[in-house]
Amino acid sequence: MRITGGQAKGRRLIGPKGRCLRPTSDLVREALFQILSVRLEFPWESCSVLDLFAGTGALGIEALSRAVREVVFVDHHKSSLDLIRRNLSLCGFSEHAKVVRADIRTSPKSLDRVLKYAPFNLIFADPPYSQGLGKKAMEWVAETCALASGGWMVIEEFKGEKFPHQIISSSELSLQLVDSRIYGQTELWFYRSI
């Protein structure tokens, strides 16, 4: 598992032991960031990023390698949080990161402490596949206005999962599906806030 672009390109990250985590492959991460580089209407340097279900931290660290301002990493497993901190230190990005323990499955309110860093320009959600957590994350983002206007949310899930074309919250934030891409068994959904 290597960083595919930016300042830390080629740096090998520490991977998970066992089968408890499923990190985003290098190929999918590289494709994801190429798509975002074309679609983002603001420079990486101005971006504030939220990495939900962060696991190893690979997505957020990839963003930091491209010089984003700050990344907030969220996971509920202590082992994942330790792994994220180790990878941040390895890449020299610790000062541009916050690591938060929260669990959308059992305690969505625990995510409220993330909102002090909001709004985010870019949100990644890479939950365990086929548990409905991607949609739950989208609903949380829409209801809390965690995503800035014109910002992007990217959801990684098992290919063929069903996601809505649009979510409109009571706060009037709308997430509109713009694109989806399939890479092997993985599918990426790209939403934009309107």
Q: Model confidence over 13-25: pLDDT tens digits?
A: 998 776 556 678 8
Q: Cα(16)–Cα(20) distance, rounded to whole angstroms?
A: 8
Annotate the chain with DSSP letters as a single string: -B--SSTTTTPBPPPPSTTS--PPPHHHHHHHHHHHHHH-SS-GGG-EEEEET-TTSHHHHHHHHTT-SEEEEEES-HHHHHHHHHHHHHHT-GGGEEEEE-BTTTBGGGGGGGGGGPPEEEEEE-PSTTSSHHHHHHHHHHHHT-EEEEEEEEEEEETT----SEEE-TTS-EEEEEEEEEETTEEEEEEEE-
Report whether pLDDT(192) > 70. yes
pLDDT at residue 91 in the model: 96
pLDDT at residue 20 in the model: 59
Percent of the chain residues topping a pLDDT of 70 = 97
Predicted confidence (pLDDT) per residue in 8-63, tens digit: 998 999 987 765 566 788 899 999 999 999 999 889 999 999 999 999 999 999 99
Report whether pLDDT(78) > 60. yes
| Beta bridge partners of residue 124, listed in sequence order | 51, 154
Q: What is the pTM of this model?
A: 0.94
Predicted confidence (pLDDT) per residue in 102-154, tens digit: 998 877 788 889 999 999 999 999 999 889 999 999 999 998 999 999 999 99
Q: Cα(92)–Cα(27) distance, rounded to whole angstroms?
A: 23
Domain ranges of the chain: 26-193
At the top level of CATH, which class does the domain 26-193 belong to?
alpha beta
Q: Which of 81, 87, 126 is nearest to 101 (CA)?
A: 81
